[in-house]
Amino acid sequence: MRYKGISKLISETLFEAENNRLSAPVLAARLTVFRHERAVHLCITLAFATWTIICYAFLAAFETFALLPAAILITILTACYIAYYFFVENSTQKLQELYLNLSEKEIETNE
């Protein structure tokens, strides 16, 4: 549910920003939310990557296949988190660029 919520918010914000429907302060507030989301998902992605490495290390060290289903599952989850993190990262960078452009336009308009 959270994935759909933040994805929808990112999409709506990008659309509104690209069509000049947002002011710089509103975009700045939303950008703060996206930066927090990016930081949280970076931590989650790193944790899953660490567990993936640990799981494969146990598989190699003890030569047991009992952990193989867990290793496969954690690898799939890690790949999903990496894909989602890149989505959030790229969206945040695009919003940052739009925010800077919008701020410059508002400064020029006020001068």
pLDDT tens across 12-21, in order? 777 777 777 7
Cβ atoms within 10 A of the Cβ of 10, count? 21
Cβ atoms within 10 A of the Cβ of 89, count? 15
> How far is it, in rounded angstroms, from Cα 40 to Cα 34?
10
Compute the half-sphere exposure of residue 22: CA atoms within 13 Å on the CB side of its CA: 23
Domain boundaries, the chain: 38-104
Average of per-residue pLDDT across 32-42: 89
> How far is it, in rounded angstroms, from Cα 17 to Cα 101?
10
The percent of residues above 70 in pLDDT, for the chain, comes to: 93
Q: Reduce the DSSP state of residue 63 to 3 states and report it.
A: coil
DSSP 94-106: HHHHHHHHHHHHH
Asked whether 103 and 26 are in contact (CB, 8 A), the reply is: no
With tokens 């759909």, the residue in question is: 4
Question: 41-56 pLDDT, tens per residue?
Answer: 999 999 999 999 999 9
Q: Kindly report the pTM of this predicted structure.
A: 0.73
Separate counts of helices (H) and strands (E) for the chain: 3, 0
